[in-house]
A and B are shown apart, each in its own frame.
Chain A
Amino acid sequence: MSELKENLKAQIIEQLSLEDLTPADIKDDAPLFGDEGLGLDSIDALEFIVLLESNYGIKIADPSQGREIFHSVNSLAAFIESNQ
């Protein structure tokens, strides 16, 4: 699981072009969206959908799940593990 989280952090940085950040800057349980954490927004949610499809072959069937799935690196990793 910890390897998956580290991979996810690197992929988030690459996919979202967050060139100033390193994986160490992203905490496992920090909110990814909103003013706290990474301050991501709805445009970035599209990037997460692309990331899940292209890197893990997972499609989100119910878009309303996005808020819960994309909350943090922890929730993203848990979703990937349970859907692979």
Chain B
Amino acid sequence: MKITVSSYLSRRGAFLDTELKFGFREENWLKECYQQLEMDYPKFYKMDHLSKMAVLSTEIIKSGGILNGIQDDELELLFANANASQHTDLKFIESYEQQGNPSPSLFVYTLPNILTGELAIRNKWYGENTFFITPEFDETLFAERLYHSARKGSKLCLCGWVDSKLNAQSAVELEECFLFLVALSKEDTRNDSSSFAITLKELYTSYQASTLDN
């Protein structure tokens, strides 16, 4: 069980394998990131905050070519966050309380696991996908789930912690996207998963520290 590539995306910048790839100057940093990556995917503009971050981070992960040529059902998706779809939930509530109409296009994003669907559509990945909601980043949960995936023969899993939260004034209080691609083997053991959890926690912590430095 080994992390082959990782990325971290927040308002402070886009990181690939712990190196800063580029920073952001615009208030609308997600649009700036989209433009930096020279993407041409109009559906991006429709997406919720979580999906935008996940799609952009995946493009950064893909930029090194590591996912080129994989079979469409070869890659699992394993994602989690703490605040589910609270960001979109509040905007949806606002759409019918203040504008009088519940917005169908917001409603479709009032589940956080929609982001795995957006990744599947964008990349034509049709492997299994799972989304957990946990109080905080849970490295042991990721490690345990990856161990089980390895035991049933999965070879590659794109994992992510993609979280966003609005405060009482509807301003963004928290937003981050940590992605890591894991190569799995049937030979992986429970001991491997325990040491993997420690490595994963260290990597996540280092990304958070480096974003604070910039």
Q: Are B104 and A43 in contact (CB under 8 A)?
A: yes
- B45 contacts A54, CB within 8 Å? no
Instruction: Assess whether A63 is interfacial by the CB under 8 Å rule.
Output: no
Which of A15, A19, A21, A38 is close to B103, meaning CB atoms less than 8 Å apart? Answer: A15
CB pair A38–B100 under 8 Å, yes or no, is no
Q: Would you call the interface of chain A mostly helix, strand, loop, or mixed?
A: loop
Query: C-beta contact mask, A11-52 vs B, less than 8 Å → 1, else 0?
Result: 000011111110000000000000111111001101100100
A17 neighbours in B (Cβ, 8 Å)? 46, 91, 95, 103, 105-106
Category for how many chain A residues contact B? 10 to 19
Q: Which residue in A21, A43, A54 is a CB contact (below 8 Å) of B105?
A: A43
Q: How far is the CA of A15 from the CA of B30 in the complex (A)?
A: 20
CB contacts (< 8 Å) of B91 on chain A: these are 17
Q: A17-B91, A20-B30, A20-B34 are in contact. Are A39 and B45 (CB under 8 A)?
A: yes
The reply to whether B100 and A54 contact each other, CB–CB distance below 8 Å, is yes
Query: Chain A residues with Cβ under 8 A from B37's Cβ?
Result: none
Q: Are B42 and A44 in contact (CB under 8 A)?
A: no
A23 to B42, CA, bound (A): 15
Is B68 engaged at the interface, CB distance under 8 Å to the other chain? no
Give me the interface of A with B, judged by CB distance under 8 Å: 15-21, 35-40, 43-44, 46-47, 50, 54
Q: A17-B91, A20-B28, A38-B42 are in contact. List 10 more A-B contacts (CB 8 A).
A: A16-B103, A17-B103, A18-B45, A39-B41, A39-B45, A44-B104, A46-B104, A47-B104, A50-B101, A54-B100
